[in-house]
A and B are shown apart, each in its own frame.
Chain A
């Protein structure tokens, strides 16, 4: 400043002189320079302020240089106004030199930056891109939110499905089990547990073959293996499970094999339905059908036999009536009597046949409820009925003492003993002496009642035939051949069995029968 003053003091005139101090011209220059200087100063101040607020300015140093350069330019304008009144031209010169230096430096540094600046995205483009990015971002966020919602929904539905599945699995009316490829239980529902009587925990520690009935294991295992080998995908089998208490239960089991993504067998799903009731019904149905078929066959045979055997006396009667007519015409008195006797015997026989058939048909329809009967007194009563024949034959009848109590239709069992004792006496009449024995023995735990004789006996081949209707092994014997058929029917209706034992002709015969005990009687 001293040097400036020196210059001012020593040599130059104020720049106003150049304007001849013409007030208008001086004010035009001074005002213009001051205004320009103020304007110049305001720009870098704004720039500094901007830079202060925003630290992210690119090319910061050039920015600062530019601010300095503009500040310097502004200062030269202030100095130009100053030199109108004060001739500090050296100072102004130095200032200009400084400004020139800064300007040149700015230009020098700025020009190489132009390509870089060009390469920089413009703000509007940047803003555009920014907007696009923002939009995209919003869209992505939307998408994400949507995806998240979908996922949530899917998760919810999965939970719902899982709950539903669990409920279905647990409350199914059929036994459901998930079985590993080794046969071990991986999961069971409560019905499966109910069917076999094991708890869930017990079953999960077991293998499916352990609850399969030993007779059903080979077939089950074969199907299991076929499924594992890929020959079949599923199978159904009716088989038995062994319950915890050792009893068995019939089930219908459907099994399908589930494979994983690599087709490796993962597990089996087994659905088992308890079909015990159905099987029982089926068996009962079959039993009834069998029974019905037996009845039909029996009825057919009955009708066949009756029609045949009732026709016989008719043929005799009509035949001998014809001979009677011939005898009458030829006055043959000798033949007359025997022919009439044949006719009357045949009609007698026909009456007997009809009576006995009626009797046979009554059995089963007319039965009294079973009652406790002392067999000893019943046998004694039967013997009184046939006492005439016994004494006529001179037969010795031995009755075992202490015969048991039985639960039977008293009247029918009396009929049985009458028939059997009558038969025994009849067929032993020619033995010396005729012997008949009546008693009971135990075959295992089952009482067997018997009536034996030392009579003509029965060939082994005919032992079953003796009970057939109208079957008479000895055509000359009296009777119609209905007695044993009636006896057979009475015992059968009581639920017992009857059979004949004999070592052959001339070696006597024993008729045996059983009566079901009370428990068995109650069940049937």
Chain B
């Protein structure tokens, strides 16, 4: 993966939160392109290159919020993980909810990681920094993506 920019799909309905994540990712020194969509339906269209997203780049990582307009985050996760084309794309849940039920269900639907947005700037920065580093420096992904 070296040299090539990393494509991250950020599924987040709150523009402020999206901004926070984007800024955090910029500070980790891993070159990346963040594509931001605001609802579950757009997320699926982006991944499967449908509708307005025909020709969209295939993401190397998906950051997925749970409470989304139209199609709920868990539904998006289920759709991604039950599709042969998309099931190997790592999906990291990034949400405000720390409800046990949400965490359990996310893993039931094969989420690769589950993170709760911290209500603290330093921690939020730390999280987004570590996140990029972990998934693109240390983590190995299948080559045939």
Q: Chain A: residues with CB nearer than 8 A to chain B? A: 304, 307-309, 311-312, 314-316, 318-323, 325, 342, 346, 459, 462, 465, 470-476
A472 touches B121 (CB 8 A): no
Report whether A314 and B119 are in contact in the complex, using a CB–CB cutoff of 8 Å. Answer: yes
Is B129 interfacial (CB-CB < 8 Å)?
Answer: no
- Distance of A309 Cα from B65 Cα, bound (Å): 12
Q: Is the CB of A475 within 8 A of B124?
A: no
Query: B122 contacts A322, CB within 8 Å?
Result: yes
Residues in B neighbouring A473, C-beta threshold 8 A: 69-70
Least Cβ–Cβ distance between B10 and chain A, in angstroms = 13
CB neighbours of B45 from chain A (8 A): none
Q: A304-B99, A312-B14, A475-B39 are in contact. Are A319 and B69 (CB under 8 A)?
A: no
Q: Is the CB of A315 within 8 A of B122?
A: no
Contacts of A470 in B (CB 8 A): 67
Decide: A475 near B20, CB < 8 A? Known: A322-B124, A462-B70: no
Tell me whether B96 is interfacial, beta carbon within 8 Å. yes
Q: Which of A322, A325, A465, A472 has the most CB of B within 10 A?
A: A322
Contacting A475 at CB < 8 Å: which of B19, B69, B96? B69
A471-B117 Cα distance, complex, nearest whole Å: 20
B141 within 8 A of A: no
What does the 1/0 interface line of B1-33 toward A look like (CB < 8 Å)? 000000000000110110110010000000000
Beyond the given A308-B96, A312-B96, A321-B121, please list 4 additional residue pairs across the A-B interface where CB-CB is below 8 A. Answer: A304-B99, A342-B16, A470-B67, A473-B69
List of 5 A-B pairs having minimum Cβ-Cβ separation, nearest first: A322-B121, A316-B16, A319-B20, A475-B13, A311-B96
B-side contacts of A321, CB under 8 Å: 121
Roughly how many angstroms separate A30 CA and B39 CA in the complex, as a whole number? 174
Is B20 a contact partner of A315 (Cβ separation < 8 A)? yes
A471 to B39, CA, bound (A): 12
How far is it, in angstroms, between the C-alpha of A473 and the C-alpha of B38 when the chains are bound?
10
Hey, which chain A residues are within 8 Å of B97, CB to CB? 304, 307-308
Residue interface bits B81-122, CB-to-A below 8 A is 1, else 0: 000000000000001110100000000000000000111111
Chain B residues with Cβ below 8 Å from A304 are: 97, 99
Interface centre among A308, A315, A321 (most CB of B within 10 A): A315
The answer to whether A315 touches B39, judged by C-beta atoms less than 8 angstroms apart, is: no
Q: Which residue of B lies closest to A305 (CB)?
A: B67
* Count of A-B contacts judged by CB separation below 8 Å: 66
Interface flags for B122-145 (1: CB within 8 Å of A; 0: not) read 101100000000000000000000
Q: Are A311 and B119 in contact (CB under 8 A)?
A: yes
On whether the beta carbons of A315 and B69 are closer than 8 Å, the reply is no
Complex: chain A residue closest to B125, CB-CB: A322
Chain B's nearest CB lies how many Å from the CB of A474?
Answer: 7
- Contact status of A318 and B120, CB under 8 A, knowing A471-B69, A472-B69, A475-B38: yes
- Give the residue of B13, B17, B67 whose beta carbon is less than 8 angstroms from that of A316: B17
Q: How far is the CA of A321 from the CA of B95 in the complex (A)?
A: 20
- Bound state CA distance, A309 and B99, in angstroms? 13
- Given the interface pairs A321-B121, A475-B39, the reply to whether A312 lies near B17 with Cβ below 8 Å is yes
Alpha-carbon distance between A472 and B39 when the two chains are bound, in angstroms: 10
The residue in chain A whose Cβ has the minimal distance to the Cβ of B67 is A308
A-B contact pairs, 21 of them (CB 8 A): A304-B97, A304-B99, A307-B97, A307-B99, A308-B95, A311-B119, A312-B14, A315-B17, A315-B96, A316-B16, A316-B20, A318-B121, A319-B16, A320-B16, A322-B121, A323-B121, A342-B19, A465-B70, A473-B69, A473-B70, A474-B69
Contacts of B23 on A, CB cut-off 8 Å? Answer: 323
Residues of A within 8 A of B14 (CB): 312, 316, 475
CA distance A323 to B125 in the complex (A): 10
What is the CB-to-nearest-CB distance from B50 to chain A, in angstroms, rounded to a whole number?
15
The residue of chain A having its C-beta at the shortest distance from the C-beta of B39 within the complex is A475
Least Cβ–Cβ distance between A325 and chain B, in angstroms = 8
Interface-central residue, B14, B39, B120, B121, by most chain A CB under 10 Å: B121
Most buried by B among A308, A319, A322, A342: A319
Shortest distance between the CB of A88 and any CB in chain B (Å): 161
For A311, list chain B residues within 8 Å (CB): 96, 117, 119
- Say whether A319 contacts B67, CB under 8 Å: no
User: In whole angstroms, what is the CA distance A384 to B96 when docked?
Assistant: 39
Complex CA distance for A12 and B20, rounded to whole angstroms: 195
CA separation between A389 and B39, bound complex, in Å?
27
Give the docked Cα–Cα distance between A475 and B70 (Å). 9
Contacts of A475 in B (CB 8 A): 13-14, 38-39, 69
Residues 58-75 of B at the A interface (beta carbon under 8 Å): 67, 69-70
